[in-house]
Homo-oligomer: A and B are copies of this chain.
Amino acid sequence: MFSIFKRLILGKTLRTAELKHEKFNVFWGLPVLSSDAISSVAYAGEQILLVLIPVMGAMAYRDMLYISLAIVLLLFILVFSYRQTIDSYPKGGGSYIVAKDNLGKLPSLIAGASLSIDYILTVAVSTCAGTAAITSAFPALYEHRILITLAMIIIMTLGNLRGLRDSAKIFGIPTYLFIVSIVSMIVIGLFKHFVLHIAVSDSTSHLRQSVGNVSIFLILKAFSNGCAALTGVEAVSDGIPNFKEPAQKNAKTVLMLLAFLVLIIFGGTSYLATIYHAVPVEGKTVLSLIGEQVFGKGFMYYMLQATTALILIMAANTAFSDFPLLLSYVAKDGFAPRQLSHRGERLGFSNGIKLLSVAACTLVIVFQGDTTRLIPLYAIGVFISFTLSQSGMFMRWIRRKSEGWRHKAVINGTGASITFITLCIIGVSKFTEGAWLVCILIPTIVIGMMVVRAHYNRVADELSLSVKLFADVDQSEDMEHVIVLVDSLNQASIKAINYGKKISSNIVAFHVSIDEDATDKLKDKWYDADPGIPLIIKQSPFRDIYKPLKEFIDSEEHASKPGDLITIIMPQFVVKSFWQNVLHGQTALLLKNKLLRDRHIAVITVPYIIE
């Protein structure tokens, strides 16, 4: 049943040989790799206004524009820095790899930890913002927003477990649709304002005018919030192998186009917000408010909301392919559980996908689907990885001193400094609002990674072949110390005894007596059937099987030569369905797990299948 259902949802298991990547040209690479960066426009502007408006009232819009411009400037510095990363890492240069290469183990782990947190937040923030786009258009859905968000995540999880990459081009279409919608909005909005001079219903009239002191701290806080717009820039330099040849040139073109698109879209919407004075309220996003004023509540408005929701989902989806890939690198280096580097039935890193899904759902539930409360956690991780990646590149030029290294070092050095300054701004201004959580999480994850690696190292040491090799076995010697566990005398125990007789002529049967009646019955049957081996019975006053057995084993062990294994044969019923298993308990399994903690015991399970 479950298995048929699973096949239906996930499709049939794929061969390893079927693993292949679709390659993109610039036209398709742009939308697929930039959806994360472009989609952040949907919430970044709003996050700036949410900080400014309560204090500055209608004055907020002027400062918003300046802050937006600063962020776009920051983006261009990043683009120039990352073009050099693309040149140096033709196989893809995420910050984990760049930091590992140039800065060493600890920085790479910090980069890995902050990237992991970011991917999880990308999913949580993007799906929450996608839901906000939907509920802005259909307010009746607002009260179900958490359910809608969780449903999105679950559908994406199933999609990625099935493996969506085969048809990745489809993912490019929503991005282009979003670009078209939003550019139309900007053009029509500007036209209405400057050419038609249509009056705007000014919803800011109720706002207090420049309340309180506009501190530099407030501006920095708004800037920090807006930096959420810069997430997803790394995706392009991560994804170089996905480009058609010349891959590096194509990637650099896409990165440049991406920057101009963000400039137009983020700058344009910020400017529109200042002339249309959109005031974010609960249940209505800024983008939705502007769209409503520009388009009216017609087809174009719904188109805008739909494409916004779609591109945000695409953005979350990029995390579903990047996070498991990152974890697989980390796991291959031994810093994360090895299962994360295994490909699932459909060739995706399914454990990483599931982990991402659970973590994102947890965040959505804990933060009640509120984008504003998630954003402070978001930007800090992004800028840690930017800083590490740029510093890594800087160190690379300094060390290698290849042609033109001074020039290149200046560019990456500038990138590193600027992102580090931004990181400090975000860390300080948002510390109490959630950044502290990231400051605890990252060291915790890094320590966890090192503990995992230490464990794997220890296991590898213990298993290494230095100490002993293959034993010379005297085949004429009989196996000693073979014990068959007997609960009652039936087909299953007889099969086990017969098996035991084959491997040794020197076996004993062992019975733990919990119920007097059952033991008497066994004795009667035993002497009737005469199995020809001794039956040892021990009382168990505490109704526990392990202890009397362990005592007996220990007494045997004293009689044996050092290094000899004691063999326990356990008959085991095997029933076919799950509910039948419930009827037979798991005593045998628990007992076996306890026995195997002793290095002198080998356990033989002899199954008896009940049809």
Contact = CB atoms under 8 A, between A and B. Distances in A.
Contact of A573 (B13, B459, B473): B459
A490 B467 CA distance: 10
B583 A452 contact: yes
A492 B14 CA distance: 31
Given A337-B582, A585-B339, A470 B494 contact: yes
A454 to B, nearest CB: 11
Interface string A338-365: 1100110100000000000000000000
Contacts of A475: 478, 501, 505
Interface in A451-474: 452, 455-456, 458-459, 462-465, 467-471, 473
Contact of A338 (B343, B529, B583): B583
A592 interface: yes
Contact of A606 (B473, B573, B602): B602
Nearest to A586: B339
B574 A458 contact: no
Contact of A465 (B13, B14, B494): B494
Interface residues of A, number: 79
A491 interface: yes
Interface stretch (A197-205, A244-252, A283-291, A536-544): A536-544
A601 interface: yes
Contact of A597 (B531, B541, B543, B607): B607
A572 B582 CA distance: 26
Given A469-B529, A572-B596, A580-B455, A602 B607 contact: yes
Copies in the complex: 2
A503 B501 contact: no
B342 A543 contact: yes
Interface in A1-40: 13-17
Nearest to A480: B502
B16 A463 contact: no
A459 B582 contact: no
Contacts of A468: 491, 494
Contact of A503 (B337, B338, B345, B503): B503
A590 interface: no
A452 B580 CA distance: 8
A162 to B, nearest CB: 16
A237 B583 CA distance: 31
Given A337-B582, A596-B607, A603-B604, A473 B502 contact: yes
A267 B462 CA distance: 78
A463 to B, nearest CB: 4
4 nearest A-B pairs in the assembled complex, by CB-CB distance: A463-B490, A15-B541, A596-B607, A473-B501
Given A14-B542, A16-B514, A599-B608, 10 more contacts: A16-B542, A16-B543, A456-B583, A459-B575, A463-B610, A470-B498, A499-B602, A592-B605, A602-B605, A603-B604
